[in-house]
Amino acid sequence: MQRPAWAPRSIDISVPSVSRIYDYYLGGSHNFEVDREAARKAMEFMPGLPKIMQANRAFMRRAVRYAVDEGITQFLDIGSGIPTFGNVHEVAQAADPGARVVYVDHDPVAVAHSQAVLAGTEGADVVAGDLLKPREILASPEVEGLIDLNRPVALLLVAILHFVEDADDPYRAVAELRDALAPGSLLVVTHASYEGVPLPQERAEGAVDVYRNIRNPLIMRSREQVARFFEGYDMVEPGLVPMPNWRPDTAPEDEDPYAFSGFAGVGHAA
């Protein structure tokens, strides 16, 4: 297998990565055959997976615009993945040129691409970090250089929490981040769930098994379990809902049925 020029030497290109699979679903070009193969296998069970990813991105952009409208100009995007068109800094800085964004990912490919994309961009940076180690993220030079933790921050955890198993206690990590952020901060979450998937659960489980087989288990949580991530936050209207139903720009009934898989919400820290 030939290594493309953009692939960091340190990564094993024979092992699929969830951020590169996500990139493939979004029509990106930063993925390998091993990622495309895993993506195609998952789509055999859930052909609408790309629609779910597109709904995620569209929700994220609406949530970023909402944050700027609320006067928040600092963004911490953990599990940011590989940059694609309409990323957080582009949306935020279009609304407020002074907006500052730090992307965080543990995938070396995502970090390397973010560095390339952000080269020469004012007010945006990327750090290699792990959601389960919040203190390390917050103490990183990149975060300290761009984000003032004494002022409100929009914390984005978009399509990442469902890759953290209960044994690793994602609730603890999210609570630790909440406690470190200033009052008035926002929490922006999307999360996979069997609820809303336009398929029998047994069939959707086939796609979940593909992720388990590539050692990136996809943890499908119920609405109630996802709501627990918002403890200590007041939910912004309309609450925790399917992605197309959160402050839509266009009529939700025009959306693909797959777009309603899982949940999205924004919380406001008191």
Distance between CA atoms of residues 110 and 130, nearest Å = 13
CA dihedral 202, 207, 211, 212 (to 10 degrees): 20
Distance between CA atoms of residues 42 and 44, nearest Å = 5
Amino acid 65 reads R
pLDDT tens per residue across all 270 residues of the chain: 667 777 777 777 788 999 999 999 999 988 889 999 999 999 999 999 999 999 999 999 999 999 999 999 999 999 999 887 789 999 999 999 999 999 999 988 889 889 988 989 999 999 999 999 999 999 999 999 999 999 999 999 999 999 999 999 999 999 999 999 999 999 999 999 999 999 999 999 999 999 999 988 999 999 999 999 999 999 999 999 999 999 999 999 999 999 999 999 999 998
Q: Two tokens at 142? A: 């990149």
Q: What is the pTM of this model?
A: 0.95
Domains with residue ranges and CATH for the chain = 50-197+228-269 (3.40.50.150)
DSSP 240: S
- The reported pLDDT for the residue numbered 11 is 73
Cβ–Cβ under 8 Å, residues 188 and 157: yes
Within its chain, how far is the Cα of 264 from the centroid? 11
Distance between CA atoms of residues 10 and 27, nearest Å = 25
